[in-house]
Amino acid sequence: MKLDFPNVGETLHHHVLDNGLSVYLLKKTGYEKTYATFTTKYGSIDRRFKLDDWVEVPDGIAHFLEHKMFEKEDGDVFQQFGRQGASANAFTSFTRTAYLFGATSNVRENVKTLLDFVQYPYFTKESVEKEKGIIGQEIQMYQDNPGWRLYFGLIDAMYVQHPVKIDIAGTIESISAITAEDLYLCHRAFYHPSNMALFVVGNIEPEEMLDLIRDNQSAKSFEDPLLSARETVEEPTSVRLSERVIEMDVSVPKVMIGYKDTPLAGEDGLKQELTVELLMHALFDTTAPLYTELYAEGLIDDAFSFDYTSEESFAFAALSMETPHVDAFVSRITAALEKPLHLDEATLERKKRMMQGQFLKALNSPEFIANQFSRYALNDSNLFDIPALLETITLDALHEAYSRLFRQDQRTVCIVKKP
Amino acid sequence: MKGIEQFQHQLNYSVYPTKKFKTTTCLVSFAAPLSAETIADRALLPFIMEKSTATYPSMELFHTPLEELYDASLYAGASKIGKEHVIQFQLEVVNDHLVGEDVLSQAIKLLEDVLLRPNVYDGSFQPLIVEQELRLQRQRIESVYDDKMRFAQQRLQDMLGGELAIPSLGTLEQLKDVTPRSLYEAYDAMIKNDRVDIYVVGDVNREQVETAFEPLESLGSKLVRELPVPKVGEFQRLEEQQDVKQSKLHLAYAIDVDPRTEDAIRMQVVNGLFGGFPHSKLFMNVREKESLAYYAASQYSALSRKLFVYAGIDGANQQKTEDIIAEQLDALQNGDFEEETLQQTKEMLFHQRRQLGDNPRQLIAWMSGADVRPFSLDEELAIIEQTTGEHVVELARNIKLQAVYCLKGGEA
């Protein structure tokens, strides 16, 4: 299927193969590089799921599996990509694991390598044990990173049940329990083609690329999908803790204010995400009255940022700042958000133009297109719907989002500071 | 890169006309000799200039038209490049035809406003804004402490002295002398005395660029870039303690290679074999074979004639890690590496260069090094292709360990 998006000047080819794999191809005229991502809808939150019976696996296993996929009987796949002139990588998030490469040569070989290594698990007791030292150092590195501790401290304090509260890499203790058998099990459960999306963008001819992918996939046999359910937890709308302080040797205290939201799936989820983003831009950009006030008082500056995270089973807004005056910053922000919202049509229109511009600018990046498209596609929504959806969002929708989201019992404040 | 047009009036222009991007990106760069006396003022100046102008005298007033122009992004920043201090103003806007409006020329007017009509009164920047930004700059300097990798690298560079030891933000001590007046003087010196280079990548032609930037033609001077003169002192070692879980081991090596020569390009191959990639000796041995680290890598800084190695390790393994790093360099010096690995390194370097043209900012960064790098992209690719194992051995024997810094865990 060929889909034209003339307003953004891109054409996307989408096909679902017989084995269930979703393939997306996008030609970027004039680009030297081709970038490909092979993504499974499997992340750190998938710790309990049903095959024939319910299974529970150690925390951090999705990330551990991502590391171990690169090692094969005949060596390291990184090296194979390297010999083929490609730069490979992978990442694990709360909800996804993505394997990727960028290459300016041997693109066909590299696409085959990507498909083959992710679909061919190979783990041994020895190699699993060896990885525990490497990931152990990765976990320690993050433990020394105040920004990371702040972010995960916030999420842990916000959520009562939801496994988003668990560190993506797990802990040194939790990963110590991981075995080769666990890894095989998770691979069988979550790396079935019907649970995955392949995105290839850049210097390609879509028809030829599709043939290559189809040939590669039809030469392999897959068992029927094993995964029959993922655990869903009852998460209250209110937060677990309203405040948490983490003591670390930092020069400047860091603070995050989180507001827990009610998640939505599919296109509704995308629309909610865009609505909250428009709202947050209107409230917190440098042009907003609140920003101007706090800047004059020395309570806000370039260190301030905000972000909205939205997935099928969790959603939250986060405001982040570094300042010696944490208490004043928090009380000014939270007090402002308890007042009624004042917003005019002209501001909303300006914020829409701004987000349209941000979207168009991001399309320069094949990495953005592949990563973000895959994220939305695995949540049953479409990245290229963003420009049209933005235009449908009304002032009323922003008011509704404001009163739903910025509530005291949905708020957590997390602070990292010196003992 | 084929298709780059370079020309000079009072200012130096590099223009790459292309329709492949959704945006047009412009960079105006002011370069002056690096000096500890001026760095604190010059490091703060861009943060102040990007926030308001005489026409739009507050952040709210200045950023509103940028938002209206489909989020035209206008950023200023400062950095050290070799012996120079460079202040850059970057503008990125979506192409006019995508939104059916004349965005680019309006945005360039705002950029000119920043450069020519800053928010000053009576020979000083606005005291209130300066006070805010000074506070923030102090915080930025202090928070280097919170980024342990950056902290350790800065401590290592302190040990090396010269240009490397000048912190890019200046010091807290130097910041005490920064005033609304001294900042204006730094601005005035910048627009009169700096070398001004303009880079444009996007849906434009030479005539459009000349017309659009004509108002800036009165700025700048014909300053010629000078290269650092390397000094190599006695070997040094320093260990410090902080309350961290992971220790940071940073090493500096002296490289006696002129950055304008073919050998400097070949050094990229040596660095690639040593620690530049996931197939490199450092990654393969420190991480994959011995499981000592999550990251272990090297970086070649051609202008400062140094090679840096860094690894995040368990403090108890410091000696062992240093020994393994030394063994990897020995191996390169003895020609102990596979032809296949050499080829793989070249492939990765080719890939890095070929993809430059897919990202406007990377492309501009590459274009901006052109005056100290006498080779075209194709020539560089050829030099890499023709690099032999003998070249690698000869250059590796030129790598001398100069300093070791370790930030160790435990109670400070």
* B16 contact A CB<8A: no
Q: Looking at the domain assignment, is residue A375 inside a domain? A: yes
According to the model, what pLDDT value does residue A5 have? 64
Q: Mean per-residue pLDDT for B249-277? A: 95
CB A206 within 8 A of CB A27: yes
CATH top class, domain B236-408:
alpha beta
Q: Looking at the domain assignment, is residue A111 inside a domain? A: yes
Residue of B nearest to A304 (CA): B136
Q: Looking at the domain assignment, is residue A172 inside a domain? A: yes
Catalytic residue among A10, A32, A56, A66: A66
Number of domains chain A is built from: 2
Q: What is the pLDDT of residues A374-411, one digit of tens each?
A: 999 999 999 999 999 999 999 999 999 999 999 999 99
Given A230, A251, A272, which residue is the final one in a domain? A230
Name the E strands within B72-190: 73-81, 84-94, 120-121, 124-125
- A226 & A294 share domain: no
Residue from the list A78, A286, A301 with its beta carbon closest to the beta carbon of B278: A78
Question: Is the four-CA dihedral B392, B393, B395, B397 of positive or negative sign?
Answer: positive
Using CB atoms and an 8 Å cut-off, which of residues 232-271 of chain B contact chain A?
Answer: 242-246
Cα B276 from chain centroid (whole Å): 17
Identify all chain B residues contacting A251, using CB atoms and an 8 Å cutoff: 142-143, 145-146
- A167 & A250 share domain: no
Identify all chain B residues contacting A386, using CB atoms and an 8 Å cutoff: none
> CB–CB of A298 and B132 under 8 A?
yes
Domain assignment of residue A279, given as a range: 243-417
> CB–CB of A360 and B94 under 8 A?
yes
Q: Looking at the domain assignment, is residue A237 inside a domain? A: no
- A226 & A314 share domain: no
* Mean pLDDT score of chain A: 95
The residues, ordered by sequence, that sit 6+ positions from B134 with a Cβ below 8 Å of its Cβ are B44, B175, B178
CATH of domain B5-216: 3.30.830.10
Question: Is the four-CA dihedral A158, A162, A164, A165 of positive or negative sign?
Answer: positive
- A32 & A134 share domain: yes
Q: What is the pLDDT of residues A161-207, one digit of tens each?
A: 999 999 999 999 999 999 999 999 999 999 999 999 999 999 999 99
- A158 & A261 share domain: no
- Among the listed residues B404, B407, B380, the one whose alpha carbon sits nearest the alpha carbon of residue B254: B404
Q: Looking at the domain assignment, is residue A348 inside a domain? A: yes
Eight-class DSSP state of B242:
-
Could you confirm whether A247 is annotated as catalytic?
Answer: no
pLDDT grade, residue B411 (50/70/90)? very low
Domain of A361, CATH number, reads 3.30.830.10
- Burial pattern B34-53, b for ≥16 Cβ within 10 A else e, equals beeebbbbbbbbbbbbbbbb
Which stretch of DSSP H or E encloses residue A396? helix A395-405
- A220 & A320 share domain: no
SS3 B113: helix
- A269 & A366 share domain: yes
Which stretch of DSSP H or E encloses residue B296? strand B293-301
* Mean pLDDT score of chain B: 93
> CB–CB of B314 and A137 under 8 A?
yes
* B47 contact A CB<8A: yes
Distances (CA, A) of B212 to A106, A361, A372, B109: 42, 22, 35, 8
Q: What is the pLDDT of residues B19-38, one digit of tens each?
A: 999 999 999 999 999 999 99
Distances (CA, A) of B43 to A60, B87, B303, B361: 42, 8, 21, 21
Q: What is the pLDDT of residues A103-161, one digit of tens each?
A: 999 999 999 999 999 999 999 999 999 899 888 888 888 888 999 999 999 999 999 99
* B41 contact A CB<8A: no
Given A165, A199, A230, which residue is the final one in a domain? A230
- A111 & A187 share domain: yes
- A184 & A205 share domain: yes
ipTM of predicted assembly, 2 dp: 0.91
- A127 & A225 share domain: yes
Q: How far apart are CA A251 and CA A238, in angstroms?
A: 32
Q: What percent of chain A lies above the pLDDT cut of 90?
A: 90
pLDDT grade, residue A355 (50/70/90)? very high
Residue of B nearest to A353 (CA): B70
Given A175, A197, A230, which residue is the final one in a domain? A230
Q: Looking at the domain assignment, is residue A288 inside a domain? A: yes
- A40 & A160 share domain: yes
Per-residue pLDDT at A348 exceeds 80 = yes
Q: Where, residue-wise, is CATH 3.30.830.10 in chain B? A: 5-216, 236-408
Q: Mean per-residue pLDDT for A38-62? A: 96
> CB–CB of B59 and A295 under 8 A?
yes
Q: What is the pLDDT of residues A259-311, one digit of tens each?
A: 999 999 999 999 999 999 999 999 999 999 999 999 989 899 889 999 999 99
- A219 & A310 share domain: no
